[in-house]
Amino acid sequence: MKSKELKAENPPVDRLSALRFHHIIYLCNGGILSFHFKIIYESSESLARLGEIQTPHGCVNTPVFMPVGTQGTVKSLTPEELHEIGVEIILANTYHLYLRPGHEIVAKLSGLHRFMNWDGPILTDSGGFQIFSLARLRTVSMSGVTFQSHIDGSTHVLTPEKVIEIQEALGSDIMMCLDECLPYPTERGRAHKSLSITLDWARRSKKARGGDGSALFAIVQGGMFKDLRARGIDELRKIGFEGFALGGLSVGEPRELMLEIASFTVPQLPREYPRYVMGVGTPEDLIELVSFGADMFDCVIPTRNARNGQLFTRTGTVNIRNASYVSDSEPIEPGCRCYTCRNYSRAYLRHLFMARELLAYRLSTIHNLYYFTNFMNDIREAIRAERFLEFRKEFYSIRNTL
């Protein structure tokens, strides 16, 4: 594969170039809002690539890891702290914000960006995975999903059209089509039927969208069956979207199978659009998925694990609750430039966790998100320098938890 850098300055305005850069312009309330994706650089030694996503709320450099702000907050951190860490885009969730406080409330208060005081891009998940994993009772049909809230047991119906309505009310920069997420294992007949439902919902989602400037990504399902995944890609490509996501992974399958399905599916996603692998997020997973050509990732691992005392470093993970850190004056990771490592010791963090002080969760989350953000920065630099495979080899050589 020959590497090449794509120049973005003064692109021609003919139809072919517009399609190549996938530049979509919308008029909204007399102003111009835009979304487009362009490939900046493609590696000659792997399928890894650099890209740039432009949204109405700013640009995102890819490959990128998106911290999860499910309910309009990245747990324990302020938006100002996220900016200081270097976060460019966050993820929020349609299902949760629909149930509480309600999308009408958020819209009335000028949208999710203003509501949570975050001025960067926001991607909203459709809620399909949350319905699969959290809803007490659910019934799936071609028309949509009927489910009982995990909060109070109340009954709700979400259709593809309703999910688009909710996300437009939230003011998402990137919306996701409603999809059906299946558990592992799922037999082939069930996966085939589910794929048909997801494809029908994708068509209806596209038809339902308005002209508010939000991009709409489709989600490829199909269980662990490669031919179903390929069919899903082909059908979704015909419908046409601003990005394509790979869903239905990390649902209980062995890691080897997850990587096998991803290595088959990701390179088949349309090259000229962002490729998003949903809900997968250990550092080991990220570096492998980047090598397959993936651009976007999200996962609760850095934030959830931080609250449980597991901290990420270049050499592996640290369980800060261990007694060995009771008088350790070193930072979590020597040389790390995050706020936590610049100011606090392992001994102090362990003390906070053992005392169940809230500050433990904040300081640990700052460090883990800094690690993930900086890790993606290093990956991008390695791709640019044509040393991604060398970087990958070095990454594994120093890990103590593989």
Is residue 298 annotated as a catalytic residue, yes or no?
yes
Which H helix or E strand runs over 65?
Answer: strand 64-66
C-alpha to C-alpha distance for 165 and 176, rounded to whole angstroms? 12
Q: What one-character-per-residue DSSP string does 279-296 give?
A: T---HHHHHHHHHTT--E
Question: How is residue 334 annotated by DSSP?
Answer: T
Helix 226-239 to helix 188-208 angle (10° resolution) is 10
Residue 297 token pair: 């990732």
What pLDDT shows up at residue 131? 87
Within 8 A by CB and 6+ apart from 335, the residues are: none
Helix 283-291 to helix 388-397 angle (10° resolution) is 160
Catalytic residue among 173, 179, 295, 298: 298
Catalytic residue among 125, 173, 179, 295: 125
What pLDDT shows up at residue 400? 56
Report which of 32, 39, 33 is spatially closest to residue 8, judged by C-alpha positions.
Answer: 39
How many Å is the Cα radius of gyration of the chain? 21
The model scores a pTM over 0.85: yes
Question: How is residue 312 annotated by DSSP?
Answer: E
Neighbouring CB atoms inside 10 A of 31's CB total 9
Question: How is residue 183 annotated by DSSP?
Answer: P
Within 8 A by CB and 6+ apart from 177, the residues are: 126, 160, 163, 198, 201, 202, 205, 206, 216, 217, 218, 219, 241
- For 248: left if phi > 0, alpha if psi spans -120 to 50, otherwise beta; the answer is left
- Cα 242 from chain centroid? 15
Residue 62 token pair: 């890819």
C-alpha to C-alpha distance for 104 and 91, rounded to whole angstroms? 19
C-alpha to C-alpha distance for 381 and 393, rounded to whole angstroms? 15
Report which of 234, 218, 223, 231 is spatially closest to residue 179, judged by C-alpha positions.
Answer: 218
Residue type, position 166, single letter: I
Beta bridge partners of 291: none
Q: Tens-of-pLDDT digits for all 402 residues of the chain?
A: 444 444 333 333 332 233 323 333 333 333 445 899 999 999 999 999 999 999 999 999 999 999 999 999 999 999 999 999 999 999 999 999 999 999 999 999 999 999 999 999 999 999 989 988 887 789 999 999 999 999 999 999 999 999 999 999 999 999 999 999 999 999 999 999 999 999 999 999 999 998 878 999 999 999 999 999 999 999 999 999 999 999 999 999 999 999 999 999 999 999 999 999 999 999 999 999 999 999 999 999 999 999 999 999 999 999 999 999 999 999 999 999 999 999 999 999 999 999 999 999 999 999 999 999 999 999 999 999 999 999 999 999 998 543
Q: CB burial class (10 A; 0-12, 13-18, 19+) of residue 9?
A: exposed
- For 281: left if phi > 0, alpha if psi spans -120 to 50, otherwise beta; the answer is alpha
Q: CB burial class (10 A; 0-12, 13-18, 19+) of residue 166?
A: buried
Beta bridge partners of 139: 146
Is residue 173 annotated as a catalytic residue, yes or no?
no
What pLDDT shows up at residue 30? 36
Count of CA atoms in the C-beta half-sphere (13 A) of 35: 20
The 3-state DSSP class for residue 259 equals: helix
Q: What residue ranges define each of the domains in the chain, with the CATH number in brackets? A: 64-298 (3.20.20.105), 300-402 (no CATH)
Within 8 A by CB and 6+ apart from 298, the residues are: 65, 66, 67, 68, 91, 123, 125, 278, 279, 281
